[in-house]
A and B are shown apart, each in its own frame.
Chain A
Amino acid sequence: MKVKEGFEMQVVCGEHIIIPAGAENVDFSKIISLNPTAAYLWENVAKKESFSVEDMVELLLAEYEVEREIALEDCNLIAETWKEMGLVQD
């Protein structure tokens, strides 16, 4: 999968949020915010041409002390959520 074009992550009011890139409207009533783990993953995969859930797991294991199995579960969930929200595409 890959991150769709036209999104950027910014820290607004202490929250990592995903907003449209460029001049487009920013709607504070419908903001997508990422928790610190998801923000870390996003930061590292956003620039990639393409990435897999396995890549996310490796990133997670490199930064957090967590068992691979749990990391995989979490990354699957995050990837699914991103797809649901239309932030990434296959």
Chain B
Amino acid sequence: MSSKKIQIENCMLMQEITKLFDSGKESVTIVVRGYSMRPFLEHERDKVVLVPPRTPRVGDVVLAEISKKRYALHRVIKIEDDIYTMRGDGNQLCLKEQFTEKDIIGVAKAFIRKGKAVTTDSLKWKAYSFAWNLLRPARRILLAIHRRIIKYI
């Protein structure tokens, strides 16, 4: 038995996820790419379990098409009428993306972090979310420290 890594182009993967949800799958797990959800999620180390699109609430982590064929898995920070604003936990405060409900590919139900499952309704996730939100003013400094020590932890 051999195992290999296949990199799927983003827009193709999104279509497949949508197709799987349409065919009745309850959830789809994909590997996280990029660093914008640091410090919790790490590029290619962690995974996210997505469920089919539903109306998100502030604090939810959503995979959405933020502009044509550009996708992001970020946290919803604001909802105004039908415009949703989200931002990566690991992104600078000036960076944010907007989308509407039809742009949602999936909503995070759980994360597999360092091989361990953390559901979004767990105390661990809620405590982390609460703390990270409180620490927002210090985000820049904390992320800079995290960048320097991530290879040792």
Is the C-beta of A67 less than 8 angstroms from some C-beta in chain B? no
Quick check: B13 and A28 within 8 Å, CB to CB?
A: yes
A85 to B1, CA, bound (A): 8
Quick check: A26 and B12 within 8 Å, CB to CB?
A: no
A81 to B47, CA, bound (A): 26
Interface size on A, residues (CB 8 A): 16
Per-residue contact bits, chain A 61-81, to B (CB 8 Å; 1 contact, 0 not): 000000000000000000001
Quick check: B1 and A29 within 8 Å, CB to CB?
A: no
Given A25-B49, A29-B47, A84-B1, A12 and B28 contact (CB-CB distance below 8 Å): no
A31 to B26, CA, bound (A): 17
Per-residue contact bits, chain A 18-62, to B (CB 8 Å; 1 contact, 0 not): 000011111111010100000000000000000000000000000
Residues of A within 8 A of B28 (CB): 25-28
Residues of B within 8 A of A81 (CB): 1
A24 to B25, CA, bound (A): 6
Residues of A within 8 A of B31 (CB): 28-29
Residue on B with the closest CB to A80? B1
A31 to B8, CA, bound (A): 12
Residues of B within 8 A of A29 (CB): 29-31, 47
Is the C-beta of B6 less than 8 angstroms from some C-beta in chain A? yes
A31 to B13, CA, bound (A): 13
Residues of A within 8 A of B49 (CB): 25
A44 to B24, CA, bound (A): 25
11 further contact pairs, Cβ within 8 A, besides A28-B8, A31-B6: A13-B8, A13-B9, A13-B13, A13-B16, A22-B24, A25-B25, A25-B27, A26-B25, A28-B29, A33-B6, A85-B1
A residues neighboring B (CB under 8 Å): 12-13, 15, 22-29, 31, 33, 81, 84-85
Give the 9 A-B CB pairs with smallest separation, nearest first. A27-B29, A23-B26, A25-B27, A28-B30, A29-B31, A26-B28, A13-B8, A12-B16, A13-B12
